Amino acid sequence: MSLPEQQYQLRVYYEDTDAGGNVYHANYLNYCERARTEWLRELGINQSFFLEQNCGFVVRTLAMDNVAAAKLDDLLTVTSTISELKRASVRFLQQITNQHGQVLCQIKVLVAYIDLQRAKPCAIPNQILGALKGVS
């Protein structure tokens, strides 16, 4: 039995907001990366293990559509699904909603697995690939 999607909850703090009174747009990217990280963790994978071998996921392309703004104290949910899984990259669809169920932001992101030292793409380790296959 697989998880077709993952849900990650987070709270908006002062650090996330800007003088316009809303969450600063770049922080939605952080939220989505936290969600991807927690999904991996649920699947038994800690990225720090792979970082020690100088490997990791990097964001290659990203499309963000902001529909409404998040505010201080909002309780946000990032819902993530995998739309494509290849040997060296993963494509995620991620949606951020607030505590009222309102959709705030949709993100499509392609993350590539790379050798961080040589800045070269490389195959996703079988341990990670297998775990992701189970949920995609």
| Cα distance between residue 28 and residue 94, in whole Å | 10
- As measured in angstroms, the least distance from the Cβ of 93 to a copy of itself is 15
Residue 132 has which token pair? Answer: 């992701």
In the bound state with a copy of itself, the residue whose beta carbon lies nearer, of 5 and 24, is: 24
2 vs 100 by CB, closer to a copy of itself: 100
Interacting residue ranges for a copy of itself, rule: CB under 8 A: 11, 13-15, 17-22, 24-27, 29-30, 33-34, 37-38, 41, 46-48, 51, 56, 58-66, 68-69, 71-73, 116-117, 119
Tell which residue, 24, 105, 112, has the closest CA to residue 61: 112
| Nearest CB to a copy of itself, comparing residues 1 and 119 | 119
Contacts of 86 (CB under 8 A, 6+ apart): none
Question: Residue 34 has which token pair?
Answer: 């936290």
Q: Are 112 and 89 in contact (CB under 8 A)?
A: yes
- Minimum Å gap between C-beta 38 and a copy of itself is 8
The residues carrying an active-site annotation are 18
